Structure 1
Amino acid sequence: MVIHPEGEDCKAESLFLGPAPWLRTGRMNNLLLEGQPGVGKTTLLRAVARAIPSARIGGFLTEEIRENGIRMGFRVETFDGRSAVLAHTAFRSGPVVGKYRVDVCAFEEIGVNGLERGLSEADILLVDEIGKMELCSERFKELVLRSLDSPKPLVATIMSRPHPFADRIKARPDGERLTVTVRNRDALADLLVQRLKAALGR
């Protein structure tokens, strides 16, 4: 499904990319959110989590670290309150992504383990994001594939730029890709909440 920004009411128009199993079975899973940086994808997932307080949520969010208004890095945090610095300009070791170095060990300890716990304990999986920094972790790649194969509803933000692993995920026939824009993000959040509640029978 692609939610288009055109039109005052930001109505949803369906454009299904391959067969979506939940349409036949009533089980929703594997929604991939794309969009330009800064449109509010993380804010959208946070709003979705707040709107379903009774659900057990696994996964993680990624937030910018800013100092004096300048972006210096990124922090990963789980829905049970754990957090760690994922990447920072001050790091002197780790894989290089742009001007940042990635702390893969910290990401795996907090973000990847949070997703792994969610696979066994949560009702819903929210992942922000399947991006170049996170994909420095082979464990994360493995867990993304396990999450996609899981019957649990998964909503994940994913990088828009070409990347072998991300492109492989986007090409899967068992999910939907949705485009997030500044104009449609609130309507999209409402739609996701409705879908998730229906999938959970709430």
Structure 2
Amino acid sequence: MPTRILIEGRPGTGKTTAARRLAGLLRSREVTGFTTAEIRQHGTRVGFALETLAGERAVLAHVDLPGPPRVGRYGVDLGVMERLALPALESAGARPSAGRRAVVLIDELGRMELACSPFREAVRAVFDAEVDVVATVHAHHDPFTDALKRRTDVVLVHLTPVNRDTLAERLAALLEES
């Protein structure tokens, strides 16, 4: 049975750092997916970039983007989700190279990303596929993420200041064993 893990945490707790560290630790697995990162100018956050694990990068949300949609003060470019995130998730169905099992890494299942309905459908498909999934998720309530959190095949891990420095290593060991 595939491993499905949701890493839940409040903004700034280190979800993206844990996801990136985990991707770097998975040596025997084929890892696909994406991470997000803050865009800062003069010390102030002005947006977010999406970067696939294959190295493609684009601005997902920015204060200067008009939207729609808008999430808070950011306009969101849903085309980035369709051009970068969707192919990264859909490639999980392809045969892993050299017989390595696939792990899909999704950072994050947040309001900006979930504004894209094809992305939500791709996430559902990945969680139903025979691949291991690790996704970061916000701590607040949302119908889509709440449904994922209630799945009996999902392990919900709360990221805290106490476990954030060791979580990636623990998850890597779990995934390398499975």
TM-score, normalised with respect to structure 1: 0.82
Alignment correspondent of 1:68: 42
Q: Are residue 102 (structure 1) and residue 76 (structure 2) matched?
A: yes
Secondary structure, in 3 states, of the residue corresponding to 1:185? coil
Alignment correspondent of 1:30: 4
Unaligned runs of 5+ in 1: 1-26
Whether the 8 Å CA contact 2:52–2:88 is kept in 1: the answer is yes
Q: Deviations over 1:6-65 (max 9, x none)?
A: xxxxxxxxxxxxxxxxxxxxx441100111111111111111111123422111001000
Aligned-residue RMSD, C-alpha:
1.3
Counterpart selection for 1:127 from 89, 106, 113? 106
Q: Distance in 2 between matches of 1:119 and 1:128?
A: 19
Counterpart selection for 2:152 from 156, 163, 173? 173
Q: 1:170, CA displacement in angstroms?
A: 1.1
Matches within 5 A, 1:41-80: 41-80=15-54
Alignment correspondent of 1:136: 115
Q: Distance in 2 between matches of 1:45 and 1:38?
A: 13
Counterpart selection for 1:145 from 121, 124, 128? 124
Alignment correspondent of 2:99: none
Q: Are residue 87 (structure 1) and residue 66 (structure 2) matched?
A: no
Q: 1:185, CA displacement in angstroms?
A: 1.3
Secondary structure, in 3 states, of the residue corresponding to 2:130? coil
Q: Distance in 2 between matches of 1:110 and 1:128?
A: 13
Whether the 8 Å CA contact 2:109–2:137 is kept in 1: the answer is yes
1:91 maps to amino acid: L
Q: 1:118, CA displacement in angstroms?
A: 2.4
Q: 1:121, CA displacement in angstroms?
A: 4.3
Comparing both structures, which one devotes a greater share of its residues to strand?
2
Whether the 8 Å CA contact 1:94–1:102 is kept in 2: the answer is yes
Whether the 8 Å CA contact 1:72–1:89 is kept in 2: the answer is yes
Which of these two proteins has the greater Rg computed from alpha carbons? 1
Q: Distance in 2 between matches of 1:140 and 1:113?
A: 10
User: What count of residue pairs does the alignment treat as equivalent?
Assistant: 173
Unaligned runs of 5+ in 2: 97-101
TM-score, normalised with respect to structure 2: 0.92
Q: 1:174, CA displacement in angstroms?
A: 1.2
